[in-house]
Structure 1
Amino acid sequence: MASHELREAIDRWLKWDKNEKTLYEIKSLNDASNWIKLNDLLSTRLAFGTAGLRGKMRAGFNGMNDLVIAQTAQGLCTYMKAQFNDNEQKTRGIVFGYDGRHNSKRFAELSANIFIGAGFKVYLYKRLVATPLVPFTIRHFNCLGGVMVTASHNPKDDNGYKVYWSNGAQIITPHDKNIQSNIISNLEPWADSWDTSNLYESELLIDPKEAIEAYVVRVRETLPPSIMEVNSQSNVRVVYSAMHGVGYPFIEDTFAAIKLQPVIAVEEQKEADPEFPTVVFPNPEEGKSALELSIKRADSTGCNIILANDPDADRLALATKNTTTGKWKVYTGNEIGALLGWWAIYLHKHVHPEADGDLSNCYMLASTVSSKILRAFAQKEGFHFIETLTGFKWMGNETEKLLSAGKTVLFAFEEAIGFMFSTNVLDKDGISAACHLASMACYLEAKEHFTLDEKLQNIYKEYGFHYNKSSYFFCYEQKTIKKIFARLRNFAGAPKTYPNSILQDKYKIKHIRDLTNGVDTSQADGKAILPVSASSEMITFTFENGLVITLRTSGTEPKIKYYAEMCAEPGQADFDGLINTTNDMVAAIVEEFFQPSENNLTPKTN
């Protein structure tokens, strides 16, 4: 028999939901007295966080569906009405975009309809767009905020609701908590929330298509005429995969605008397809398994460079073929970050005449778990490097603060193949990143006679070798995770005491930063500069020989992750030796700090 709470949840759903499919699903389960399934679907709801919403498309308060989207839009609308006056709502408005997933357009239309009903001007794209277009459009039209309906590279059954604020960056606290509170206060659908029949006749609705042309122009403006001249004369071609997503038309337009040769598309993955028929996971970060068709296409056309976006085109993958060995190299996000970081410096120092080679007012950013290569660039070139918490929401908001203070931000990236080249978009942007990687390849071939991989090795020689090794363990017991991290921060039997070496003092630890309790021994006062969160585990150990390793828990999965990097000094030429040292140290750290056998941890399967 259903509990009182579950009975109330079922009754609310049956009263509020107007979608025939999801209403029938709950009704059928109710008729069949399937309380276990109903409890799963209705007893909890998707929590609205700093990434907005993301979950499976299914009936129930714990799924992505029309009713949950209507409730979310009502909460967001109520919060924004409290933050902005009537004139701002009518004149500045809000942007909605959507990708090619099932229900994405419907979710965007439902949301737009709710905001129009509340008196907001609404910019709603009438075509599929890449995620970077939403934050770009916010700043282009000076909007109050925006929403992109996408689940990025998640499996096909998922969808998401990604919210941006008026600064063009993803929302951070306290917006997320306040929006969640307003959602809970506005669960019952408003009178006109469901009726979208007259949506496109509303005088408050605008298709912001001109922002797409403006975006292409802004990408073109990030490259000087001399580089576009190189592009126009180059025979470099790239194979491109949209991964069954929205990227292809944007790549086509931007490549033409900066005079690159047209891409050779992976035809099977060129058009948006919500079924993602050719890939198990539509995520180019998976490496060769996701790039099989791209490699096949490149081999058949004699092409040595592959670029691939994820389905909403905010991430970018790179692979190149060694013409001597015939082997393909799939680059990590850190390696692409090194290449694009160098390219940003080159353009600013040597090509843009207004720069005069002075980088003292310039900044680059990366997340804590990403490569420290930008720090090495900054130390040698004289600009500033800022480390943020994981996620582009932090880098986007930090960039906006720097811009407001009159600073120049050249580049930001995270290891999960996310890149922000220039500040046209205060979020990761796989379209502009593709344009710059392709332009860089043309330039390197014409002027320096390097391939991208040869240039990467050259960067390591000049700025110091940076080698990364990352992985994770599954841990399904929360108390085990707490035990592992509690041991590390009470190592000498007292609070805030940590290991000082590994392998019986062979490798000594220089600094410790614990963003769970605010310790940072590299700071004069011993306190962390970055935001501290007692609800998540994150400790970084910096060793005297240059190895940096961060141990952290996942916010969405039962995993303990580690991100290790050997940051060598310029001139340390024994790359193989540094790799071997890193591998030995990581193996020891995993064994000594995680104690996987004792804690019954399950390693990642390759």
Structure 2
Amino acid sequence: MSSSNNTDVDFEPTGDNAVDNEIRKWLLWDKNEKTRLEIKALVDEKNIPELKRLLLHRMEFGTAGLRTRMGPGNSQMNDLTMIQTTQGLAKYLKASLPTVSSKGVVIGFDGRHNSYKWSRIVGTIFVNERIPVYLFSRLCPTPYVAYGVRAFDADCGIMITASHNPKEDNGYKVYWNNGAQIVSPHDKGISQAIDESLEPLASSWDVSSLERLSSLVKDPMEETLKRYNADVLSLCYLREKNAECPVRLTYTAMHGVGYEFAVRAMKEFGFLDPIPVLEQVQPDPDFPTVKYPNPEEGEGALKLAMETADRNKSKVILANDPDADRLAVAEKIDSGWRVFTGNEIGAFLGWWCFTAWRQKNPSVNLSDVYMLASTVSSKILEAFARKEGFNFIETLTGFKWMGNEADRLLKEGKYVLFAFEEAIGYMCGSKVLDKDGVSAAAAVGELVNHLYSSGTTLSKQLEVIYQTYGYHMSSNSYFKCYDADTIKAMFERLRNYDGEGKYPSKCGDYAIAHVRDLTVGYDSETIDKKPKLPCSKSSQMITFKFENGCVATLRTSGTEPKIKYYAEHRPDPEHGLDYGQVKEQLNGIVESIAKYFYSPDVFPKILPRDT
């Protein structure tokens, strides 16, 4: 056995200097016996490919923070990478926001494996830096951390969660001092600070600091519960009538944290407790009843909720994802259960947020009123704004953009009523500057009461909305691809579709009027050919505007091996198309995109969603 210089770490060198250097550091630095021994076992087995995968590629800290598989090595979530990340974040905060030493940080965690332990490690590192922490004593929804940053005037929020990812994953989400997710350049600054803070301090492993420095530690749970639920009442308009709602609501937490908090918010609204999906209301990090703990997956994920609702003659299902920042909605119709798309929920929830708010605020100048949606989401809010007289803003994909834009508007004295993203994320009002499935559940419950008490339903109201503001019919899905080179080649082919450096002029039989490419910074529709939205070379995103009114965006996912597409057909009402015709055209375009743009015959590593 050989020994590394100046250390007491012994291991048999692999012969690869880069790998040996990382092995030496890992065995020296990692104090978690399990992950340390897992790396040591790979060394003993001489499993060089796996050691390279785990040690030579560090997780990239971005605006979404971190989210990946738990396990040993620099490329995965574990005690050591959690310490390194937090040491870097603390360093960056002290340099960027010196007030953090008095204002502190908010730290929350969900019900996943290791979330509690890692929240304590994070808290330990901050108190060792003499930075106060608002450390939740028990699991909480992600929106509680976003809310807590503003409520307690903290300088940062950290949530340990992987949201709706598989059970093997966990993550690290960061909010800035405005309560919105971080945007550039903070991600780059934090990433650099992490790289400069890789060697763990001995004190970072000692969570007893939380007791020894207890004057720096506060549990914000009860205060957050009280203040959040008082503030959420700003979204309530029918409190005295909600107990008489003619429809009993069914609720599932998808094995996550949402049940207690959603029920509490709904009680504040005056509702009776919803019917719980008993198999799924308690937090369980193994998510035993679902393949993917993501209500966005539709009927498969909501099977138990539908069975529970049917047994209790309930006509509406509300479903939070595991960290309760997203909301799915389903309604019983004559043909069975209708699971609404994220865009459909955005349509009726946005309509309700404006309609109810306007009734109580008839004199507010609508030039000061705003709604927001991301570029890949339905533009139904834009149609609302155009007809009703308020403002609509389109942002890049991700609530980090909408949250920061909402913060800017609020500072200018504007009203932000609603923001949404098609991936079932909704921000009702402006008390939480991020998606919030808890307040959204209460708001949808009240809309259900309003509609069913009036003799109508969510589905019927959605049709009324489309007849009033124009059809906005969407089809969103994805293909899988685990090969980065293939993904890059696919997008480069779209930029050189005819071999002459031009984008495609049609997709199958459907003519394309304009193309916007936010990766390279091109927009054929603007005078200077430059997009109005910010561009990023680090991700792929191309939007095609068809001559018939359909708009389709293809983009890569920042957290999953997916190439997503978002297609919305919004023909001019003057065309006189009915529902069936709009749907037929949309389906034709989506089929053409799959065939001609994804081109699985050209790129066999691009796989259908269900593969």
Contact 1:460 1:570 in 2 (8 A): no
1:592 to 578, 596, 607: 596
2:372 to 350, 365, 373: 365
Question: 1:36: Cα distance to partner?
Answer: 3.3
In 2, Cα distance between the equivalents of 1:319 and 1:17?
46
1:159 to 149, 165, 170: 170
In 1, Cα distance between the equivalents of 2:100 and 2:599?
55
Question: 1:46: Cα distance to partner?
Answer: 1.4
What is the match of residue 523 of structure 1? Answer: 526
What is the match of residue 94 of structure 1? Answer: 105
In 1, Cα distance between the equivalents of 2:496 and 2:47?
47
State the identity as a percent: 51
In 2, Cα distance between the equivalents of 1:433 and 1:236?
17
Per-residue CA distance 1:385-423 (angstroms, 9 max, x = gap)? 111111111111111111122221111111111111111
In 1, Cα distance between the equivalents of 2:493 and 2:286?
45
Identify which range, 29-38 or 463-472, moves more after superposition.
Answer: 29-38
Q: 1:179 to 1:337 in 2, by over 3 A?
A: same
1:403 to 405, 410, 416: 410
Contact 1:54 1:159 in 2 (8 A): yes
1:292 to 288, 295, 303: 303
What is the match of residue 463 of structure 2? Answer: 457
1:501 to 500, 506, 511: 506
Q: Confirm or deny that 1:191 pairs with 2:202.
A: yes
Question: 1:379: Cα distance to partner?
Answer: 1.2
Contact 1:348 1:357 in 2 (8 A): no
Contact 1:57 1:65 in 2 (8 A): yes
1:469 to 471, 475, 481: 475
What is the match of residue 51 of structure 2? Answer: 38
In 1, Cα distance between the equivalents of 2:384 and 2:349?
12
1:356 to 346, 350, 363: 363
Q: Confirm or deny that 1:20 pairs with 2:33.
A: yes
Question: 1:492: Cα distance to partner?
Answer: 5.7
1:162-561 → structure 2 map (5 Å cutoff): 162-201=173-212, 202-209=214-221, 210-224=223-237, 227-322=238-333, 324-325=334-335, 327-350=336-359, 352=360, 354-356=361-363, 358-446=365-453, 448-491=454-497, 494-495=500-501, 497-503=502-508, 507-561=510-564
Q: 1:459 to 1:76 in 2, by over 3 A?
A: same
Structure 2 counterpart SS, 1:268: coil
In 2, Cα distance between the equivalents of 1:282 and 1:529?
36
Q: If the length of structure 1 is used for normalisation, what is the TM-score? A: 0.94
Question: 1:198: Cα distance to partner?
Answer: 4.0
Question: 1:498: Cα distance to partner?
Answer: 2.8
In 2, Cα distance between the equivalents of 1:348 and 1:250?
24
Question: 1:570: Cα distance to partner?
Answer: 4.2
In 2, Cα distance between the equivalents of 1:172 and 1:561?
22
The amino acid across from 2:175 in the alignment is: Y
What is the match of residue 56 of structure 1? Answer: 69
Contact 2:128 2:209 in 1 (8 A): no
Q: If the length of structure 2 is used for normalisation, what is the TM-score? A: 0.93
Per-residue CA distance 1:484-524 (angstroms, 9 max, x = gap)? 433433446554x33333445xx433332111222223323
Contact 2:67 2:559 in 1 (8 A): no
Q: 1:281 to 1:184 in 2, by over 3 A?
A: same
Identify which range, 534-543 or 52-61, moves more after superposition.
Answer: 534-543
Question: 1:456: Cα distance to partner?
Answer: 0.7
How much is the aligned-residue C-alpha RMSD, in angstroms? 1.8
In 2, Cα distance between the equivalents of 1:503 and 1:16?
56
Identify which range, 293-302 or 22-31, moves more after superposition.
Answer: 22-31
Contact 2:476 2:567 in 1 (8 A): yes
Structure 1 counterpart SS, 2:554: strand
In 1, Cα distance between the equivalents of 2:55 and 2:588?
48
In 1, Cα distance between the equivalents of 2:235 and 2:476?
33
The amino acid across from 1:118 in the alignment is: E
Aligned residues: 594
Question: 1:375: Cα distance to partner?
Answer: 1.2
Contact 1:48 1:179 in 2 (8 A): yes
Q: 1:143 to 1:494 in 2, by over 3 A?
A: same
Contact 1:245 1:311 in 2 (8 A): yes
Q: 1:553 to 1:198 in 2, by over 3 A?
A: closer
Structure 1 counterpart SS, 2:243: helix
Per-residue CA distance 1:158-198 (angstroms, 9 max, x = gap)? 11000111010111111111111111111111131111124
Structure 2 alignment gaps of length 5 or more: 1-13
Per-residue CA distance 1:433-460 (angstroms, 9 max, x = gap)? 00000000001122x3211111111111
Question: 1:371: Cα distance to partner?
Answer: 0.9
In 2, Cα distance between the equivalents of 1:58 and 1:492?
45
Contact 1:314 1:418 in 2 (8 A): yes
